[in-house]
Amino acid sequence: MSKELAVESAIEPSCGNVFEDIGFSRQEAVSLQLRSFLAFRLEEFMETEELTQRQAAAFFGVSQPRISNLVRGRIERFSLDTLVDMVTRAGLHVEILLRPRRTTAPRV
């Protein structure tokens, strides 16, 4: 067996949420995934608007250190409520879609 084949066999398929894949509980993984998505969109907004951290803080009504945490990916320091408020201030529409979780076994 070559080294290449040994590496391929060690790869496990993702469940669809990287946070769950690395060991977080399903509930925490979903929360982290949502917060990550919202934080990413906020960073895109700040880049598009060419806002400094100080300007972004004033715009979103938070402190500059909060923006620094956001930019550094410290999403665990933000609640979903806070991120939704910030995304709304950025003029983005938040929509939540709920659906049954996919199962690996087919329904009979």
Which tokens go with 75? Answer: 């999403």
pLDDT band at 9 (very low <50, low <70, confident <90, very high): low
pTM for the model: 0.77
**25-71 confidence digits (pLDDT tens):** 888 998 999 999 999 999 999 999 999 999 999 999 999 999 999 99
Instruction: Quote the pLDDT of residue 44.
Output: 97
More confident residue, 92 or 13: 92
Mean pLDDT of the region 2-27: 75
Dihedral sign for Cα atoms in the order 65, 70, 75, 79: positive
Torsion angle in degrees (nearest 10) through CA of 83, 85, 87, 93 = 120
Q: What is the average pLDDT score of the chain?
A: 87
